[in-house]
C-alpha cells in the first residue's frame, strides 16, 4: 500500500503541472492516483497565511523543507511535474510572478524577469521589457535566452511534454510538427532587453503563461556544455532566480543558497533552503514534530488534529486548490447517453456527507465544474455563477423520478434495480474501498440502483477510460492557470480530454467566443452559460469536491504569502525567533 501512495503526485502551487487523478490516498490528499505523492510535500513549502509581519530577523536564515519526490529533472523544457516546478520557480526567474490579492480574491502579476509589458490593441502581440537580471555566473539575462528557451521547448526533437502550453504562440502547430523552422515561432528578441511574443489570436489569459516554466529563460551555451545531462543534477544547470543550487544529492536533498547575482537579491532573506526528499508522509510528519523540517503538509484528519494540539505551530488549513474531484460519464454508453439519467446520478450524492465519509472532511463540497479558487480577472467565478447542482437538486427533490423519466425515454421500464451500472475507481487501497462502498450505498438508497464498483490500478483504469470501456469513472483535474477556459475547453467536442464522448455545439460556440473575448465581465457570462450547459442541462460530468491545501509550520517561519495559484517561490520567506 505504501507504494501506491508514493506513487501519487500532487500538484503544487502554481503553474506546476497538475492534474491528478483525484484520488487521494490517506496520506496524500490532493493526490492523484497515477502520480503519486509528490503533492503533499511539494506543498510543504508554501503555507498560506498572510503574515508578512515584522519581527527581528534571525542572524542565520535557513529553512528545512520536505519535497515529496525526487524531481525528475529541472530542465524547464523536459519537466512536467510539480516538484520539478517547485525547484525551478526558486532558481529561475519567469517573466512575471503571480501573487494572490489577500484577503480579497483574485491575483495580480508582479514584475520579475520583465519589469514592464504591454500588448497591441487586439492583444495578439506582447512586448516585455526585461529587468537587469544576471545568471549566477554574472552573465546578463537577455531576451535571446527567452527566445532560445521557447524554441527549444517547441522543437519537435526535444519531445517536451509541456510544449502544448505554448500553443497560443504564432505558428506553434507548424513548428511543433516540424513543418516550419524554429525561427517562425511567434517569439523574437527586438534587442537584448526587449522580448516580443506574437499570438495566433488574442488570448485573454495570456499573462498566466508568463509565470510558467515554459517561459523561463535557458542558456544555450550551458545546454551545449552539458548535453544530455542538462537539468539532471545540480551541477548541470544554471540559476538566474532568487536562489541557486548548491548541491543536489539525488534521492536525498537539494540545497539552495541565495543567488547574489539575482536582480532583487537584496529582498531575498533566506541564505539557505534545504529540500529533504521524503517520499513517506508519516516520516514527514515525524520529522516536523522532531523539528527536522519547518513546514509540513497534512492530508488526514488524524494528523491535522495532532498538530493542532502542538504549541509553537501555526496552521494553514482548508485553502482551496485548483483541483476538482469529480466523476464523469461515458455518454456513448447505452444507459448514460440519456441526460436525465446522468442528472439523476449527479444530484443523488450529498456532497457534504461524501466529504465527511470519504474525504476525511478535507475537501470543499463543490456544486459546479469551476472550483472556488478560479476567477475571471477580479470576478470570482463561483460567486457569480451560483451552484447549478444545488439548483438542480432543489428542482428535483427526488432524483429517482429523474432516473425513471430517463429510463422511460430509453424504453427501459421503471425499475432502477434492473439496471446494470458499474462505477470505475482508479485505485485499490482502503481509501478507494471506503469511497466505493459509500457510493454503492448512496445510489442504492437514493436511486434504488444496485451498482457494481470496479477497482483497478491507475494504468488499467486510464486505459479503460481512453478506450471508452466504462460507464462512470472517478478522477481529479487540476487547472494549469487561473481562467475557466483552462478547464472548460477540455469538454469541447474536438478535445474530449475527459473522455466523456460528450459534444455540444452550443457549448463549443460559447467557449470559442470566450477564448477571444477580452472584456472580463462578458467573458465571465460566456463561461457561466457554458458551465450551465455542461452541468445543469447535460450533466456530462459530475463535480464533487475541491481539494484543499493543509499545512502546519513552525511559528518562526515568516513572510509566507497565501497561495493557490500563487507562486511556490521562497523569495520572501524568513525566520524570526528560531530557537
Partner 1 sequence: MKLVVYILKRLGLMLISLFMIVTITFFLMRSIPGDPLSHMARSLPEQTRANFMARYGLDQPLFNQYLIYLRNLAQGDLGESLAFPGRSVTETIGRTSPVSAQGGGIALAIGLVIGTVLGIIAALFRNRLPDYIVMIIAILGVTVPVFVIAPLLQLVFAVRLGWLPTFGWGTPRHMVMPVMVMAFLPIATYARYMKSSMLDTLGQDYILTAQSKGVSETNVILKHALRNSLLPAITILSGSIVGIFTGAFVVESIFSIPGIGTHFVTSIHNNDYTMIMGTTVFFAVLFVVMQFVVDFIYVLVDPRIKLMHETH
Query: Which residues of this protein are in contact with partner 1, per CB under 8 A?
Result: 1-3, 6-7, 9, 17, 19-21, 32-36, 70, 72-73, 75, 78, 80-81, 156-164, 167, 173, 176-177, 228-233, 236, 249-252, 276-280, 282-283, 286-287, 289-290, 292, 458-460, 462-463, 466, 475, 477, 496-497, 499
Least distance in angstroms from the C-beta of 75 to partner 1: 6
Whichever of 286 and 433 has its CB closer to partner 1, that residue is: 286
Least Å from the CB of residue 307 to partner 1: 13
Minimum CB–partner distance for residue 19 and partner 1 (Å): 5
Gap between the Cα atoms of 57 and 237, Å rounded: 31
In terms of CB distance, is 131 or 489 closer to partner 1?
A: 489
H-type helices in 155-195, by residue range? 172-176
Grid-cell match 494528523, residue found:
303
Considering beta carbons, is residue 42 or 392 the nearer one to partner 1?
A: 42
DSSP string, 311-351: TTEEEEEEEEEEEEEEEEE-TTSTTTTSHHHHHHHHHTS-H
Of 21 and 535, nearer to partner 1 (C-beta) is: 21
Instruction: Give whole-number Cα distances, 381 to 343, 376, 484, in Å.
Output: 22, 6, 8
Q: What is the dihedral of CA 426, 428, 430, 431, to 10 degrees?
A: -10
Residues near 333 by Cβ (< 8 Å), separated by ≥ 6? 470, 471
Question: CB-wise, 153 or 380, nearer to partner 1?
Answer: 153
Instruction: Give the dihedral of Cα atoms 107, 524, 113, 234; nearest 10 deg.
Output: 80
- Please say which residue, 357 or 460, places its beta carbon nearer to partner 1: 460
DSSP code of 538?
T
What CA–CA distance (Å, rounded) separates 11 from 8?
10
The residues near 27 (Cβ < 8 Å, ≥ 6 apart) are: 5, 37, 40, 280, 281, 282, 299, 300
Closer of 421 and 487 to partner 1 (Cβ): 487
Residue 370's contacts (CB-CB under 8 Å, 6 or more residues apart) are 381, 382, 385, 484, 487, 488, 527, 531
**CA dist 220 → 89, 144, 203, 217, 223 (Å):** 19, 9, 29, 10, 5
Min dist. Cβ of residue 81 to partner 1 (A): 7
CB of 435 to partner 1, least distance (A): 18
318: left (phi over 0), alpha (psi -120 to 50) or beta: left
Shortest Å distance, C-beta 465 to partner 1? 9
Helices (H), 348-498: 351-358, 381-385, 388-395, 399-409, 430-447, 458-466, 484-488
Shorter beta-carbon distance to partner 1: residue 55 or 291: 291
CB of 540 to partner 1, least distance (A): 16
CB of 221 to partner 1, least distance (A): 17
Q: Evaluate whether 438 touches 446 at the Cβ level (below 8 Å).
A: no
Q: Are 564 and 101 in contact (CB under 8 A)?
A: no
Per-residue cell: 507: 457549448
Q: 541-579 burial string, b = 16+ CB within 10 Å, else e? A: bbbbbbbbbbbbbbebbbbbbbbbbbbbbbbbbbbbebe
Return the H-helix or E-strand segment holding 285.
Answer: helix 281-289
Smallest gap from Cβ 37 to partner 1, in A, equals 10
Q: How far is the CB of 495 from partner 1 (least distance, A)?
A: 8
Residue given cell 476567477 in the structure block:
375
Can you tell me the distance from the alpha carbon of 92 to that of 218, in angstroms, rounded to the nearest whole number? 9
Helices then strands, counting H and E runs in the chain, come out as 19, 21
Least distance to partner 1 from the beta carbon of 200, Å?
A: 15
Question: Closest separation between CB of residue 486 and partner 1, Å?
Answer: 12
Residue number with CB closer to partner 1 (351 or 499):
499
Whole-angstrom distance, CA of residue 90 vs CA of residue 127: 24
User: What's the CA gap between 530 and 536, in Å, rounded?
Assistant: 10
In the complex with partner 1, which residue's Cβ is closer, 111 or 161?
A: 161
Answer yes or no: are the C-beta atoms of 52 and 576 closer than 8 Å: no
The residue (of 354 and 479) whose beta carbon lies closer to partner 1 is: 479
CB-wise, 43 or 380, nearer to partner 1? Answer: 43
Closest approach, Cβ 319 to partner 1, in A, equals 22
Nearer to partner 1, 430 or 463 (CB): 463
- Using the minimum distance from each CB to partner 1, give the nearer residue, 160 or 439: 160
- CB 311 to partner 1: min, Å: 15
Amino acid at each position: 500500500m505504501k507504494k501506491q501512495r508514493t506513487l501519487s503526485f500532487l500538484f503544487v502551487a502554481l503553474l506546476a503541472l497538475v492534474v491528478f487523478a483525484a484520488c487521494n490516498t490517506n496520506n496524500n490528499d490532493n493526490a492523484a492516483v497515477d502520480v503519486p505523492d509528490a503533492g503533499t510535500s511539494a506543498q510543504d513549502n508554501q503555507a498560506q497565511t498572510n503574515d508578512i509581519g515584522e519581527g527581528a530577523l534571525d542572524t542565520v536564515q535557513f529553512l528545512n523543507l520536505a519535497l515529496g519526490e525526487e524531481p525528475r529533472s529541472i530542465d524547464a523544457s523536459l519537466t512536467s511535474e510539480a516538484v520539478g516546478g517547485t525547484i525551478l520557480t526558486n532558481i529561475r526567474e519567469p517573466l512575471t510572478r503571480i501573487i494572490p490579492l489577500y484577503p480579497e480574491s483574485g491575483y495580480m502579476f508582479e514584475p520579475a524577469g520583465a519589469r514592464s509589458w504591454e500588448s497591441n490593441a487586439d492583444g495578439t502581440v506582447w512586448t516585455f521589457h526585461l529587468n537587469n537580471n544576471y545568471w549566477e555566473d554574472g552573465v546578463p539575462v537577455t531576451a535571446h535566452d527567452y527566445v532560445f528557451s521557447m524554441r527549444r521547448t517547441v522543437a519537435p526533437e526535444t519531445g517536451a511534454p509541456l510544449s502544448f502550453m505554448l500553443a497560443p504562440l504564432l505558428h506553434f502547430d507548424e513548428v511543433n510538427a516540424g513543418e516550419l523552422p524554429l525561427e517562425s515561432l511567434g517569439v523574437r528578441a527586438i534587442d537584448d532587453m526587449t522580448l516580443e511574443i506574437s499570438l495566433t489570436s488574442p488570448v485573454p489569459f495570456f499573462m498566466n503563461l508568463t509565470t510558467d516554466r515554459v517561459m523561463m529563460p535557458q542558456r544555450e551555451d550551458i545546454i551545449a556544455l552539458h548535453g544530455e545531462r542538462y537539468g539532471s543534477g545540480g551541477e548541470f544547470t544554471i540559476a538566474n532566480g532568487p536562489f541557486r543550487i548548491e548541491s543536489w544529492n539525488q534521492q536525498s536533498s537539494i540545497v539552495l543558497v541565495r543567488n547574489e547575482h539575482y536582480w532583487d537579491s537584496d529582498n531575498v532573506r533566506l541564505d539557505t533552503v534545504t529540500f529533504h526528499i521524503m517520499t513517506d508522509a508519516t516520516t514527514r510528519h515525524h520529522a516536523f514534530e522532531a523539528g527536522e523540517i519547518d513546514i509540513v503538509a497534512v492530508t488526514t484528519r488524524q494528523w491535522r488534529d495532532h498538530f493542532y494540539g502542538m504549541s509553537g505551530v501555526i496552521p494553514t488549513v482548508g485553502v482551496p486548490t485548483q483541483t476538482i474531484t469529480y466523476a464523469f460519464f461515458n455518454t456513448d454508453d447505452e444507459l448514460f447517453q440519456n441526460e436525465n439519467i446522468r442528472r439523476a446520478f449527479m444530484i443523488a450524492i450529498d456532497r457534504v456527507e461524501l466529504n465527511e465519509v470519504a474525504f476525511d472532511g478535507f475537501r470543499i463540497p463543490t456544486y459546479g465544474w469551476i472550483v472556488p479558487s478560479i476567477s475571471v480577472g477580479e470576478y470570482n467565478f463561483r460567486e457569480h455563477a451560483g451552484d447549478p447542482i444545488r439548483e438542480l437538486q432543489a428542482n428535483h427533490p427526488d432524483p429517482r423520478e429523474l432516473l425513471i423519466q430517463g429510463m422511460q425515454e430509453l424504453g427501459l421500464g421503471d425499475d432502477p434495480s434492473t439496471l446494470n451500472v458499474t462505477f470505475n475507481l482508479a485505485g485499490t487501497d482502503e481509501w478507494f474501498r471506503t469511497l466505493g462502498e459509500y457510493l454503492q450505498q448512496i445510489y442504492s438508497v437514493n436511486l434504488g440502483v444496485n451498482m457494481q464498483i470496479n477497482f483497478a490500478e491507475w494504468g488499467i483504469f486510464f486505459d479503460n477510460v481512453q478506450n471508452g470501456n466504462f460507464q462512470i469513472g472517478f478522477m481529479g483535474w487540476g487547472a494549469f492557470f487561473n481562467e475557466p477556459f483552462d478547464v472548460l475547453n477540455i469538454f469541447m467536442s474536438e478535445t474530449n480530454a475527459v473522455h466523456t464522448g460528450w459534444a455540444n455545439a452550443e457549448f463549443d460556440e460559447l467557449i470559442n467566443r470566450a477564448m477571444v473575448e477580452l472584456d472580463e465581465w462578458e467573458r465571465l457570462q460566456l463561461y457561466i452559460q457554458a458551465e450551465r450547459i455542461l452541468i445543469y442541462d447535460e450533466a456530462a460530468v459530475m463535480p464533487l469536491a475541491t481539494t484543499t491545501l493543509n499545512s502546519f509550520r513552525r511559528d518562526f517561519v515568516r513572510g509566507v504569502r497565501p497561495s493557490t495559484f500563487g507562486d511556490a517561490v521562497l523569495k520572501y520567506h524568513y525566520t524570526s525567533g528560531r530557537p
